[in-house]
Amino acid sequence: MDSIKIGDLTLRVPIIQGGMGVGISLSGLASAVANEGGIGVISSAGLGLIYKKLSPDYIKASILGLKEEIQKAREKSQGIIGVNVMVAMSNFADMVKTAIQEKADIIFSGAGLPLDLPSYLTKDSTTKLAPIVSSARAAKIICEKWKQLYNYLPDAIVVEGPKAGGHLGYKADQLFDEHYSLEKTLPEVVAVANGYKDEKVIPVFGAGGIYTSEDADRILSLGASGIQMGTRFVTTKECDAAEEFKQAYIDAKEEDISIIQSPVGMPGRAIANSFIDKVEKGEKHPKRCPVHCIKTCKGEQSPYCIVMALYNAFKGKLENGYAFCGSNAFKAKKIETVKEIFQSFKK
């Protein structure tokens, strides 16, 4: 895997670590990935819960928490540090502004179309912008809208296929349809990016279900400049999740990895457990919406609070939550270091 450029950033190894919330990828994991020459990514989702000691106000605690995580990552690494901000988050604007103010190297944004993302840049901004898409159509819409409104084109594009973990940008019946596979979509997005090559080089990264160097080779052969992985980095010493969360991956069998319907209205991929069983039986009901973290979540109608379930899982309390994961999570057999994973991709 050869080094590549994203604007004036140089990736020694073209691997992006996917942003995993709530709390799974914070400064610990992000700095370790950055130190190996990839892009380490801090997830901005749910930081208001993780940093509630800094403020009882979720919005304020989220801002303070993101500042602290970026600063911690900078202290541990001289490499490339990114932030993942989902469009669906109710505090999307705050998280984007904070990431730019703290001079994060790059923002990755999906779970919706980040059509106004360049509007947050200022004249002295150095932060790069990379949308996460699930179709060539979405990539084209974003490129055209950014170009028209802001005279700006994406610095990179991540194509996330249906084998990814967490919330998925597909309808349930598309997840196992080869017409929506990463292998089909990726070349189409590369073609969109290449359509702008006279104006800007836009590297495209493939994501979703990539676990081994063989997986990476296949994706690179389709025209990608690099890859994004989340699941593979969960079972590392440096991952910020509780040991119980990591163990859920190691214990998981292929049949344990299931598609659930999230309260935010999207399908998601997770490891089946007793909490999910209770939800499916109709036994879970929230008493209130604590923070209204996602725009599309209707708390009074939801079977449970998604951010609390993910926060509990991050803390290792899986009886009150569950672990999101990619389709290959069952391949995890042991705890590794980030360095060992990078070495396995350099062979």
Mean pLDDT of the chain: 94
User: What domain range includes position 268?
Assistant: 243-331
Which residues on adjacent β-strands are paired with residue 108? 84, 130
| Domain shared by 127 and 221, yes or no | yes
- Whether the pLDDT of residue 7 is over 90: the answer is yes
- Weakest mean pLDDT among 88-92, 286-290, 308-312: 286-290
pLDDT, tens digit, 9 for 90 and up, residues 135-178: 999 999 999 999 999 999 999 999 999 999 998 989 989 999 99
- Whether the pLDDT of residue 274 is over 90: the answer is yes
What is the C-alpha separation between 65 and 55, in angstroms, rounded? 10
% of residues, the chain, pLDDT over 70? 95
pLDDT of residue 286: 62
Q: What is the CATH number of the domain that holds 64?
A: 3.20.20.70
179 compared with 296, residue with greater pLDDT: 179
Residues 6+ apart with CB under 8 A from 260: 267, 268, 269, 270, 276, 279, 322
- Whether the pLDDT of residue 281 is over 90: the answer is no
pLDDT of residue 280: 87
**Model pTM greater than 0.75?**
yes
Residue among 61, 19, 59 nearest 230 (CA)? 19
- Whether the pLDDT of residue 5 is over 70: the answer is yes
- Whether the pLDDT of residue 282 is over 90: the answer is no
How confident is the model over 271-298, as a mean pLDDT? Answer: 75
Biggest CA-to-CA distance, the chain: 56
Indicate the pLDDT class of residue 346, thresholds 50, 70 and 90: confident
Q: How many domains does the chain have?
A: 2
pLDDT of residue 142: 98
pLDDT of residue 237: 98
pLDDT of residue 292: 65
Backbone φ, ψ for residue 114 (5° rounding): -80, 65
% of residues, the chain, pLDDT over 90? 84
| Domain shared by 338 and 318, yes or no | no
| Domain shared by 55 and 72, yes or no | yes
How confident is the model over 53-73, as a mean pLDDT? Answer: 96
| Domain shared by 307 and 177, yes or no | no
pLDDT, tens digit, 9 for 90 and up, residues 221-243: 999 999 999 999 999 999 999 99
| Domain shared by 130 and 35, yes or no | yes
| Domain shared by 272 and 150, yes or no | no
How confident is the model over 196-214, as a mean pLDDT? Answer: 97
- For residue 233, the one-letter residue type is F
Residue among 126, 93, 125 nearest 109 (CA)? 93
| Domain shared by 107 and 202, yes or no | yes
Indicate the pLDDT class of residue 262, thresholds 50, 70 and 90: confident
Indicate the pLDDT class of residue 284, thresholds 50, 70 and 90: low
| Domain shared by 74 and 194, yes or no | yes
pLDDT of residue 347: 66
| Domain shared by 59 and 166, yes or no | yes
What is the C-alpha separation between 66 and 53, in angstroms, rounded? 14
pLDDT of residue 295: 61
| Domain shared by 205 and 102, yes or no | yes
| Domain shared by 111 and 247, yes or no | no
How confident is the model over 111-120, as a mean pLDDT? Answer: 96
Residue among 138, 75, 76, 129 nearest 105 (CA)? 129
First to last CA, the chain: 9
How confident is the model over 8-16, as a mean pLDDT? Answer: 97
| Domain shared by 218 and 250, yes or no | no
